[in-house]
Chains A and B, each alone.
Chain A
Amino acid sequence: MKRYSAFAIAREAARYHTGWERAWASPKPKKKYDVIIVGAGGHGLATAYYLGKNFGITNVAVLEKGWLGGGNTGRNTTIIRSNYLQDPSAAIYEKARSLYETMSQDLNYNVMFSPRGVIMLAQTEHEVRGYQRTAHANALQGVKTEFISPQKVKELVPIINLDGPRYPVLGGLWQERGGTARHDAVAWGYARACSQMGMDIIQKCEVTGVRNEGGKVVGVETNQGPIDCDKLGMVVAGHAGVLAEKAGFRLPIESLALQALVSEPIKPCMDVVVMANTVHGYMSQSDKGEMVIGGGTDGFNNYTQRGSYHHIEETVRALVETFPMVSRLKMLRQWGGIVDMTGDRSPILSKAPIDGIFVNCGWGTGGFKAIPGSGWAMAELMAKGHSPLAEDFGLNRFTEGRFIDESVAAGVAH
């Protein structure tokens, strides 16, 4: 496959771009693969990619019920940060963030990682203490963050209202190398790289059953026929519970709708990502100029990819209060995705109760930022049977009471 570059574009321009090849192949499934990954979202594709890149395992199929990248990878607000409190979270998110730094070059696909910086506003004394705690933890975890003053917040975010009548900004947790990336490009870049390694990405292929023999997985049933495998990775986010039931086990997962919205595009006015957890709103400005706004989750199980409207309202009023100028912008589009929430709101990267099956799910509202780290750890787990990055995210933690709770530092929103 030809490399992407400015020269390649110039060459193609001369012939009206008729020479560009497919970014990824569209094969029919083979009878058997060493590894099948279910779910061609960011996490699934990244898992496949690192299986090939790090472990030389390339006889891999990635099965996708719909179109690749069509789930939460293409529906989130693209925030990337690793300023987590608990060690296991900080480790995997920082691994992911560092991989984002070089992803475009690694994949030869510009994912537009933009380390523009992320601020999490502290608007109560309690939040100040929480973020100071996170900053201390991050220092020991090797994650570069800083608790900054309100004045510094204002310098970074001129449109912010520091002295809101309700919640004055008392400071913020600043991660300078956090930022955003182009979400679709992450899926497309991994897909192209996987295809290049000879892996099969099979879209419109829905898994209808999981076959095991003597407690060991042997393959899957799909709408394109049965496919055998030695190992099976389930990486299907909101549908993790449904797929697990097909395999015969139950996960500590509930599926909820999460919403987001964008405004009409305007000229650049905010260069960093701002998250305001006290009032429940977060916002960044895309390269197109849209203000990208994240909302809250519904409290009830939902598979419709439509959330309840009042969450949009709550988020927007928080942002109007925090950034008064947005009042006269207009909402262009709102949408929803189905997120998979675990009991402690942290992900699951684990062997399943059935031999040869591995699950990667439970990323809840914060999965996008984890994609490369999640894929890296999942690939290691599937290839070697264990991974230091995945170690603490096993299913056994719910039995043992060993939770990874990020909400303690007010960092609930992603």
Chain B
Amino acid sequence: MLILECPYCGVQCEETELHADGEAHLKRFGPGSSDDEFEGYLFRRENPKGVHFERWRHVNGCGKYFHAARCTATLEVFGTYSAQTLEPPKDLQDKISAKRPGWTWRELKGEG
């Protein structure tokens, strides 16, 4: 039963107030993209046993989507932040690198 802080309304949300919505920072591919790019965008999601960036909606609350950085193996939450970003804030990246030595934010992925 996770607790995630909604960065928009500051509530320490209990999981039942939230809806999980999969990987964050997906790059959309539309008409003009290759089959492989499009498949990667829709289906080949990150599924690490470790640090994961994901989308959540504060559905029983302010209704906003936000992003969370969370460990899928320990459920530790490194932070939550605005969904209107292309990558996690630098200070959050640094915090995670400090806690998980060797971890770095990926290149914004083109495919796979």
A–B contact via C-beta, under 8 angstroms: yes
- Assess the B72–A299 pair: CB atoms within 8 A: no
In the complex, A243 Cα to B47 Cα: how many Å?
11
- Assess the B45–A299 pair: CB atoms within 8 A: no
- Assess the B44–A251 pair: CB atoms within 8 A: yes
- Assess the B75–A399 pair: CB atoms within 8 A: no
Please count the residue pairs between chain A and chain B whose beta carbons lie under 8 angstroms apart in the complex: 64
In the complex, A343 Cα to B42 Cα: how many Å?
8
Interface membership of A74, Cβ < 8 A? no
In the complex, A239 Cα to B72 Cα: how many Å?
12
Name the residue of chain B whose CB is nearest to the CB of A242. Answer: B49
- Assess the A303–B73 pair: CB atoms within 8 A: yes
State whether A299 and B43 are in contact (beta carbons under 8 Å apart), knowing that A308-B1, A308-B2, A399-B36 are contacts in the complex: no
Interface size on A, residues (CB 8 A): 25
Interface membership of B58, Cβ < 8 A? no
In the complex, A249 Cα to B36 Cα: how many Å?
13
Find residues 6-43 in chain B having any chain A CB closer than 8 Å to their own CB. 15-16, 19-22, 35-36, 39, 42-43
Q: Which residues of B contact A300 (CB under 8 A)?
A: 2, 20, 54, 70, 72
Specify which of A241, A250, A255, A303 is in contact with B112 (CB 8 Å cutoff): A250
- Assess the A398–B15 pair: CB atoms within 8 A: no
Contact with B along A393-410 (1 / 0, CB 8 A): 000001100000000000
Specify which of B20, B21, B36, B75 is in contact with A304 (CB 8 Å cutoff): B75
Interface membership of B67, Cβ < 8 A? no
Specify which of A252, A298, A299 is in contact with B44 (CB 8 Å cutoff): A252
Q: Which residues of A contact B54 (CB under 8 A)?
A: 300-301
- Assess the B35–A253 pair: CB atoms within 8 A: no
In the complex, A398 Cα to B112 Cα: how many Å?
13
Q: Which residues of A contact B21 (CB under 8 A)?
A: 299
- Assess the A399–B39 pair: CB atoms within 8 A: yes
Interface membership of A380, Cβ < 8 A? no
Find residues 277-309 in chain A having any chain B CB closer than 8 Å to their own CB. 298-304, 308-309
State whether A299 and B73 are in contact (beta carbons under 8 Å apart), knowing that A252-B45, A310-B1, A398-B39 are contacts in the complex: no
Nearest Cβ on chain B to A362's Cβ, whole angstroms: 11
- Assess the A252–B43 pair: CB atoms within 8 A: yes
Interface membership of A254, Cβ < 8 A? yes
Q: Which residues of B contact A304 (CB under 8 A)?
A: 72-75
- Assess the A302–B47 pair: CB atoms within 8 A: no
Q: Which residues of A contact B19 (CB under 8 A)?
A: 299
State whether A302 and B75 are in contact (beta carbons under 8 Å apart), knowing that A254-B22, A308-B1 are contacts in the complex: yes
Interface size on B, residues (CB 8 A): 26
Nearest Cβ on chain A to B34's Cβ, whole angstroms: 10
Q: Which residues of A contact B20 (CB under 8 A)?
A: 298-300
Q: Which residues of A contact B39 (CB under 8 A)?
A: 252, 398-399
State whether A399 and B35 are in contact (beta carbons under 8 Å apart), knowing that A254-B22, A300-B54, A301-B54 are contacts in the complex: yes
In the complex, A343 Cα to B70 Cα: how many Å?
22
In the complex, A241 Cα to B72 Cα: how many Å?
13
Nearest Cβ on chain A to B42's Cβ, whole angstroms: 7
Q: Which residues of B contact A254 (CB under 8 A)?
A: 22, 45, 47
Q: Which residues of B contact A342 (CB under 8 A)?
A: 43
- Assess the B44–A250 pair: CB atoms within 8 A: yes
In the complex, A206 Cα to B28 Cα: how many Å?
36
- Assess the A301–B44 pair: CB atoms within 8 A: no
Q: Which residues of B contact A399 (CB under 8 A)?
A: 35-36, 39
- Assess the B43–A398 pair: CB atoms within 8 A: yes
Q: Which residues of A contact B52 (CB under 8 A)?
A: 301
- Assess the B72–A310 pair: CB atoms within 8 A: no
Q: Which residues of B contact A299 (CB under 8 A)?
A: 19-21
Nearest Cβ on chain B to A107's Cβ, whole angstroms: 33
Nearest Cβ on chain A to B65's Cβ, whole angstroms: 14
Q: Which residues of A contact B75 (CB under 8 A)?
A: 302, 304
Q: Which residues of B contact A303 (CB under 8 A)?
A: 49, 72-73
Q: Which residues of B contact A253 (CB under 8 A)?
A: 45, 47
**Could you show 9 A-B contacts with beta carbons less than 8 Å apart?**
A252-B45, A253-B47, A300-B70, A301-B72, A303-B49, A303-B72, A308-B1, A310-B16, A343-B43
Q: A300-B20, A310-B16 are in contact. List 13 more A-B contacts (CB 8 A).
A: A242-B47, A250-B44, A252-B39, A254-B47, A300-B2, A300-B70, A301-B47, A301-B52, A304-B72, A308-B2, A308-B15, A398-B42, A399-B36
B residues lining the A interface (CB < 8 Å)? 1-2, 15-16, 19-22, 35-36, 39, 42-45, 47-49, 52, 54, 70, 72-75, 112
